[in-house]
Structure 1
Amino acid sequence: MTQAGTDADRDLALSLVSSRLGWMDVLPAWHGSPLPWSCVDVVDAQDRGEDPTAPWRRALAETTARQYRQDPPPAMPAAFVLLWYLDVLANPVAFAAALGPWVLDPSPGNVRFDLQTDQHYPEAASFATGDLLLVADPAQRQDLARQRYLAHAGRFVDGYRPGVKMSSRQRHGAVEDTWEIASRRAAEACLPPPPPEPQRRQSCCFIFTLPGASTCAMCPRLSPPAGR
């Protein structure tokens, strides 16, 4: 059974998501002042050929340069901002679908976010009610949640112009990787064990380019495990 959700349904879902997600507050859109980053402004600007995330990448690059005493290659902040934007969408949607009957509406006009002051990752997101759905069947709910995430994520990555060459595998791999990771986190936090096994990533964050850093355990640059 599927039915439309209300503001009260949205508020309950987001409260539970925030309590389980931990590192990012997920708020109703009416809560306090609007968060400074508007997803619809970002994707609309990209559709016009603009680069609205340039200040975000620049701030991250400057912070990274101070921490490592070396300018990062442009691919590193470009990859992190790509993945972090997708995190804003994937994690609330995946956690809500794991916790209960809620399929959030992550369309661009429904989502805003704010960045942590020092490290510049998303520390808060807000969702309007929009076309919130209550879906009883878990498999149907997961499928619809993923479809809704993909619609916004695909539009963002198609218009993302970070000033460095970025392959379609990196772009669309990031979309799939972010959903897979968010879904696994949600299962670990909210569902009975066992959680899904981690999968080798398709996209790279380029953290290995910084002094003293190494590739992530699931980095696509590593050789596949034996037997796979």
Structure 2
Amino acid sequence: MVHPSVAAPVTPARRHYIADSLARVDGLQEFLSIHFGLPDGDGWRRCSDMLADPGSFDSWRTSLGERLKAEYGSAPDRTTAGYVMSWYLSVPAYLAGWLFHHERRVPSVRPEHLAFHLDHGQHRPIGVALLAPEFACLPSDPAAGTPNVTVVPDEHALAALLRGRFAAHATRFVDTFGPTVRFGRRTLWGAATDALDTSLWLAGRLAGEVGPAAADASLVLPDAMDPFTSASTLRPNGTPEWTRRRESCCFRYLVAPDSVCGTCPRSCPKG
């Protein structure tokens, strides 16, 4: 758990641009509350604290397992590990994906610059907070040239920066979480690929911009660029909606055999 006093003070002048961006994207969605600075209240966890203590993931899985046992009667290790893996990776991916798609800004997603709020009932993230004012943007951005802002030449460079910053955070997670579970590198990085691709998809879908979101996903994940396991798998499915094929499995089917995700790699063919 973290406390507001841990974060460095941020003056109104320093927080203006990124705080406004976060407020705008927060108003477009309801999956995770999005904040600048650490809100008051319990349940907030700094990502760097989690990654410094592998046991915190074990505790998270134990609490989740108790909920799954109450709901389904069982809580296989692969299911609790799959849920926690996907949920944690969604924190940096979601924030970065929404800011990239709607604002053409890429924040710092270093573990010490992110915190998330864990719901005590469902044991899943319900909020994310950015704790640093730094971000990158394009030359046309009104924030270009102001303190804490890095300007990159074009959208390809901005997409590469997003991909690199997320990969750096995901690497820390894989190195910490990987030894605690029976997942190989392919599964762990498949989940990271899913988190990034899905976040860009949601950023457009919830705003009625699926086509542009798919273009952004292809810009960020144009190929299977190591350590990611594939290019974006977003594609039309014959209706106004789009779909994608997951690279990893959440193992929900182990507790709910009749509940199959539409994007599950066990049932959704490649291509």
Where on the TM-score scale, by shorter chain, does this alignment land: which range? 0.7 to 0.9
1:149 aligned residue: 166
Tell me the SS of whatever aligns to 1:125.
Answer: strand
2:149 aligned residue: none
1:177 aligned residue: 194
In structure 1, runs of 5+ residues without a counterpart are none
| Paired letter, 2:52 | D
| Paired letter, 1:90 | A
CA RMSD of aligned residues (A): 2.2
CA distance in 2, matches of 1:193, 1:217: 17
Tell me the SS of whatever aligns to 1:154.
Answer: helix
1:195-206 aligned at under 5 Å gives the runs 195-196=213-214, 197=235, 198-206=243-251
Larger RCO (CA within 8 A; separation ≥ 6)? 1
Residue 65 in structure 1 maps to residue 110 in structure 2: no
* Distance 1:223-1:134 versus aligned 2 partners, 3 A rule: closer
Does structure 1 conserve the Cα–Cα contact (< 8 Å) formed by 2:194 and 2:248? Answer: yes
CA distance in 1, matches of 2:181, 2:130: 31
Does structure 1 conserve the Cα–Cα contact (< 8 Å) formed by 2:262 and 2:268? Answer: no
With normalisation by structure 2, the TM-score equals 0.73
Does structure 1 conserve the Cα–Cα contact (< 8 Å) formed by 2:89 and 2:192? Answer: yes
Residue 221 in structure 1 maps to residue 228 in structure 2: no
CA distance in 1, matches of 2:192, 2:56: 19
With normalisation by structure 1, the TM-score equals 0.86
| Superposed displacement of residue 158, structure 1 | 2.0
Does structure 1 conserve the Cα–Cα contact (< 8 Å) formed by 2:116 and 2:127? Answer: yes
Residue 85 in structure 1 maps to residue 88 in structure 2: yes
* Distance 1:8-1:203 versus aligned 2 partners, 3 A rule: same
Does structure 2 conserve the Cα–Cα contact (< 8 Å) formed by 1:203 and 1:220? Answer: yes
Residue 52 in structure 1 maps to residue 67 in structure 2: no
2:205 aligned residue: 188
Does structure 2 conserve the Cα–Cα contact (< 8 Å) formed by 1:35 and 1:125? Answer: no
1:131-170 aligned at under 5 Å gives the runs 131-136=134-139, 137-161=154-178, 163-170=180-187
| Superposed displacement of residue 215, structure 1 | 2.7
| Superposed displacement of residue 163, structure 1 | 4.2
Does structure 2 conserve the Cα–Cα contact (< 8 Å) formed by 1:78 and 1:162? Answer: no
Does structure 2 conserve the Cα–Cα contact (< 8 Å) formed by 1:98 and 1:191? Answer: no
| Superposed displacement of residue 165, structure 1 | 1.0
* Distance 1:64-1:35 versus aligned 2 partners, 3 A rule: closer
* Distance 1:191-1:103 versus aligned 2 partners, 3 A rule: farther
How many residue pairs align between the two structures? 217
* Distance 1:162-1:21 versus aligned 2 partners, 3 A rule: farther
